[in-house]
């Protein structure tokens, strides 16, 4: 399966911050979730992927190509959805469609009409009168209507009600079924990625912590809770991070079987969520 995007040892330095040797790929036919705390480098990474910034070193390939002479043609194959849409608020949806359609040689009115109906969007309403959820769904419909092969979404479900979030997640899961499109989904709402992502890319302090199949990540990390007196220097080495209170502890481990064998019935163990993994990893000292 072709990679829609490949980053190899990409570096970008600013005063006080740098992306360091960023390497991962976004595969067609899959949804890749992109997580990390504020200031971790997510936005910079996305801008580099979309050629809105130039890296200091390393290589970025879009659809197997890094030839700058074909970049405008390559960008036609990308749909980018911001957390806040950048559409003309004084235009109706119908008029906005006419404007945007002129920018894309592969714009497809039939596909757009399908998504308008699929997402129950109003043709005659001004964009400025749309709810946040409708505005986001419209942005996604636009991104899908010029046959983009890479859909990049920056916080698409932030601030949306549960119904709108579910509609968008269902749509993204539907989009990749033909295996010709890739979705790169940057979000702080890790529960959304638990529902639909195939791969997770985790960035922190300008470095990739992991890029891995979601199921593998979830299986490898376990939350353990128990009494504080169970901890000693050897037991602590089994945890990626431990948080203690006056009476107990909670820790994240990637050695669940060994913890179970050594601590047994004295602790409670449960699968870690993506949020647990991110919070514990970012808090690690």
pLDDT digits (tens, 9 = 90+) for 52-68: 999 999 999 999 877 66
CA dist 23 and 240 (Å) reads 23
Q: By the 8 A CB rule, do 63 and 148 touch? A: no
Distances in whole angstroms, Cα of residue 7 to Cα of each of 28, 120, 277, 282: 15, 37, 24, 23
Widest pairwise Cα distance in the chain: 68
- The radius of gyration of the chain's CA atoms, rounded to the nearest angstrom, is 22
Beta bridge partners of residue 248, listed in sequence order? 227
Q: Which helix (H) or strand (E) holds 113?
A: helix 109-118
Alpha carbons within 13 A on the beta-carbon side of 39: 4
Helix, strand, coil shares of the chain, percent, nearest 5, are 40, 30, 30
pLDDT over 70, % of the chain: 97
Distances in whole angstroms, Cα of residue 165 to Cα of each of 4, 70, 172, 198: 25, 36, 11, 18
Backbone φ and ψ for 106, nearest 5 degrees, come out as -100, 15
Give the model's pLDDT for residue 248: 95
Give the model's pLDDT for residue 60: 94
3-state SS of 15-27?
CCEEEEEEEEEEE
Give the model's pLDDT for residue 284: 60
Q: Is residue 4's pLDDT more than 60?
A: yes
CA dihedral 128, 47, 25, 38 (to 10 degrees): -80
CA dist 78 and 154 (Å) reads 13
Beta strand 31-35 pairing with 199-204 = parallel
Q: Is residue 230's pLDDT more than 80?
A: yes
Q: Of 231, 245, 207, nearest to 253 (Cα)?
A: 231
Q: Is residue 19's pLDDT more than 50?
A: yes
Confidence tier at 69 by pLDDT (50, 70, 90): low
Q: Which helix (H) or strand (E) holds 40?
A: none
SS3 for 5? strand
Give the model's pLDDT for residue 253: 96
End-to-end CA distance of the chain: 39
The pLDDT tens digits for 159-186 are: 888 998 999 999 999 999 988 999 999 9
Angle made by CA atoms 190, 82, 137, in degrees to the nearest 5: 85
Give the model's pLDDT for residue 224: 97
Q: Of 70, 69, 73, 21, nearest to 48 (Cα)?
A: 21
Q: Is residue 285's pLDDT more than 60?
A: no
Give the model's pLDDT for residue 275: 94
Q: Which helix (H) or strand (E) holds 91?
A: none
Return mean pLDDT, the chain: 92
Q: Is residue 138's pLDDT more than 50?
A: yes
């Amino acid at each position: 399966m072709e990679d829609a995007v490949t980053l190899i040892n990409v570096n970008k330095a600013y005063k006080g911050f740098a992306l360091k040797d960023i390497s991962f790929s976004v595969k067609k036919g899959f949804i890749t979730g992109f997580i990390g705390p504020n200031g971790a480098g997510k936005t910079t990474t996305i801008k580099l992927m979309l050629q809105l910034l130039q890296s200091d070193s390393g290589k970025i390939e879009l659809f197997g190509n890094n030839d700058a002479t074909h970049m405008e043609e390559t960008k036609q194959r990308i749909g980018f959805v911001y957390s806040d849409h950048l559409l003309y608020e004084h235009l109706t949806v119908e008029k906005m469609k006419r404007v945007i359609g002129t920018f894309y040689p592969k714009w497809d009115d039939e596909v757009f009409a399908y998504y308008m109906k699929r997402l129950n969007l109003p043709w005659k309403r001004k964009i400025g009168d749309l709810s946040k959820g409708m505005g986001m769904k419209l942005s996604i419909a636009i991104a899908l209507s010029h046959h983009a092969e890479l859909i990049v979404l920056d916080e698409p479900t932030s601030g949306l009600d549960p119904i709108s979030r579910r509609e968008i997640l269902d749509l993204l899961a539907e989009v990749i079924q033909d295996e010709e499109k890739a979705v790169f989904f940057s979000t702080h709402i890790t529960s959304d990625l638990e529902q639909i992502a195939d791969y997770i890319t985790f960035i922190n302090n300008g470095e990739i912590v992991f890029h891995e199949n979601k199921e593998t990540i979830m299986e490898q990390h376990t939350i353990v809770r128990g009494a504080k007196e169970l901890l000693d220097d050897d037991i602590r080495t089994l945890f990626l991070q431990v948080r203690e209170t006056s009476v107990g502890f909670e820790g994240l481990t990637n050695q669940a079987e060994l913890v179970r064998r050594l601590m047994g019935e004295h602790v409670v163990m449960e699968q870690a969520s993506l949020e647990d993994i991110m919070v514990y990893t970012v808090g690690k000292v």
